Structure 1
Amino acid sequence: MFKSGFITIVGRPNVGKSTFINNVLGQKIAITSPKPQTTRNNISGIYTGEDAQLIFIDTPGIHKPKHKLGEYMTREAINTLNSVDLVMFMVDATQKMGPGDKFIMNELKKSRAKVFLIINKLDLVEDYDKLKNNVGEYKAEYKFDQAFAISALNGDNIDLLLQDIKDVLEEGPKYYPDDQVTDHPEKFIISELIREKVLRLTKEEVPHGVMVLIDSMKPAEDNPNLMEISASIIVERTSQKGIIIGKGGKMIKEIGTQARKDILHLIGTKVFLDLYCRVEKNWRNKEFHLRNFGYQDDR
């Protein structure tokens, strides 16, 4: 019997949702960084085995919005709860339950899907008695169908979790071809890989007011084995542009060098990556720019 289903992963920012997706698929489709709210869109990761196809939805971290983009991100995550077969509520094993977790669990009570509590970052736990108490608090707040402790980074217990997910899913069709690992277009993944390098390399200097747009992507006229990609890094302030470019263009060159390696792995051909940086003031609070950058409001 072949099983299939849609599984959404929800939780506060930075609990490891994207790391889990990348570990399960064995390749990077969702970007990660030490900064919270790295994921902005609901990214589907498709895991296909001999007996099942699991479509994981990596959602933005649910948080109190500070701008229109934040409102969009939180709404995107919550909306998945009513359209999936299973919800994975992921929490950080090193953190106590907070108001954000309670907010999410209140939303879970409106969903008819089964809910697994996923305690991630097991590799960082030092006090297991404290962890047991924390898990008890979650279970007192919500009646979960099952609870798991995992390390998305190291892969601990993920095989067991995948098997238990298969066990609760119904018989279903294969929605995607065996070799497809995401439903997002290649250009989107490439733009996210570039954005990841910006977040990682600039650390606290450039906040999340950064967006990457692929302006053009085509094989080189004189070399079909070389992909020419032109992309724009959008920031909100002139000072941020200066940080992105760096002294003598050093930073933007390093962003391109690191991003090129991941893009090469993704598309399997040599890459010429041309990066620009431009300022769109306060774009996260302007409906026009949000729509233009692909954040549609479907309310």
Structure 2
Amino acid sequence: MSSPATEFRAGFACFVGRPNVGKSTLMNALVGAKVAITSSKPQTTRRAIRGVVHRPGAQLVVVDTPGLHRPRTLLGERLDSLVLSTLTEVDVIGFCVPADEAIGRGDRFIADKLAAVKKTPVVAVVTKCDLADREAVARQLLAVSELADFAEIIPVSAETGERLDVLADQLVARLPLSPPLYPDGELTDEPEQLLVAELIREAALEGVRDELPHSIAVVVEEMGPRPGREDLLDVYAHMFVERPSQKAIVIGPKGARLKDVGTRARQQIEALLGTRVYLDLRIKVAKDWQRDPKQLRRLGFYD
């Protein structure tokens, strides 16, 4: 007879889907904390971010990935490559399709990609069910079922928490028997400097023109307690855009927009780290960085 310790399950699940289908919001809801930034702008996620879900008898490590799309830049190509490599490294895949949007070419494109991953079970997740009525959700469940032979199809709402426990149960059931992979209570293995950089980028994404989000990158150059002030953390960060005109957009009239970005980012960083923060945020132009291999490496996007 197996002992309870040997019945513990632990492993990796990843959420995939086209841009802006709610993958990051879903991961944050399952983890119970904000470990991935969210935005109404597509292509917000640029890294494979891991969030750890602790449950009785199981540990589910959720990997949030960038939205799969047909890339138009070198950055886009690298993001797609990151997603496809992640699919081969997890124990179960969650394919996310929103309840409030018709199935489109992007969804079919991803379903075809997933069909090639033969050994990994795929659970279809119909997200944003709070934005659709019951009949619309039912129609979407039927439409998703016609895309492929999924292991399960689960409607959820990250906003209301509806059926998140069912989704977690289904993902955990497909994990291998294993001891925990992370210490109890740890919610992510993302370095704090990367989390801080992402919170700054999230603040910058709000309220800028539609063409700008893809052009913003943030690097935290230095971060640490101020000498003699253990209650105050100094953060020095650079925000990169591709053209001088974009720099002007981010700064705004008399610096108002940049000041607002700094204030919102600082509040989020303080909430994340539990300490007062001094944020020094500067803007630099890195010409066409999304298409420049050297600059992509400088900003942390490797081959």
TM-score grouping bracket, smaller chain normalisation: over 0.9
Unaligned runs of 5+ in 1: none
Aligned-pair distance for 1:206?
2.4
Alignment partner for residue 92 of structure 1, among 75, 87, 98? Answer: 98
Q: Do 2:50 and 2:61's aligned partners in 1 also have CA atoms closer than 8 Å?
A: yes
Measure, in 1, the Cα distance between the counterparts of 2:289 and 2:108.
Answer: 31
Q: Cα deviation per residue 1:115-150 (whole Å; 9 max; x = unaligned)?
A: 100000100113x44443333232222100001000
The residue number in structure 1 matching 2:123 is: 116
Aligned-partner Cα distance in 2 for 1:25–1:8: 13
Select 2:181's aligned residue among 169, 172, 175.
Answer: 175
The SS at the match of 2:231 is: strand
8 Å Cα contact 2:45-2:67 kept in structure 1: yes
Q: What CA distance in whole angstroms lies between the structure 2 residues aligned with 1:203 and 1:27? A: 29
Q: Which residue of 1 aligns with 2:293?
A: 287
Does residue 1:12 correspond to 2:18, yes or no?
yes
Match of 2:52 among 46, 51, 62: 46
Residue 202 of structure 1 and its aligned partner are, at CA, apart by 1.8
CA contact (8 A) 1:201 1:255 kept: no
Q: Distance in 1 between matches of 2:155 and 2:33?
A: 22
Alignment equivalent of 2:257, drawn from 251, 256, 265: 251
Letter in 2 for 1:89: F
TM-score, normalising length: structure 2? 0.94
Structure 1 residue 205: deviation in Å? Answer: 6.1
1:1-299 equivalences in 2 (<5 Å) = 1-111=7-117, 112-126=119-133, 128-204=134-210, 206-297=212-303
Amino acid at match of 1:23: A
| Secondary structure class of the residue paired with 1:202 | coil
Which residue identity does 1:76 align to in structure 2? L
Partner AA of 2:266 in structure 1: R
Q: Pick which of 198-207 and 285-294 moved more.
A: 198-207
Larger deviation, residues 203-212 vs 264-273: 203-212
Q: TM-score, normalised by structure 1?
A: 0.96
Q: 1:71-108 deviations in whole A, cap 9, x for unaligned?
A: 11111111111111100000011111111111111111
Distance, in Å, in 2 between the alignment partners of 1:246 and 1:29 is 29
Is contact 1:205-1:243 (8 Å) kept? no
Aligned identity (percent) is 39
Shift of 1:237: 1.0
Q: Which runs of 5+ in 2 are unaligned?
A: 1-6
Distance in 2, matches of 1:145 and 1:172, equals 22
Q: Secondary structure at the match of 2:178?
A: coil
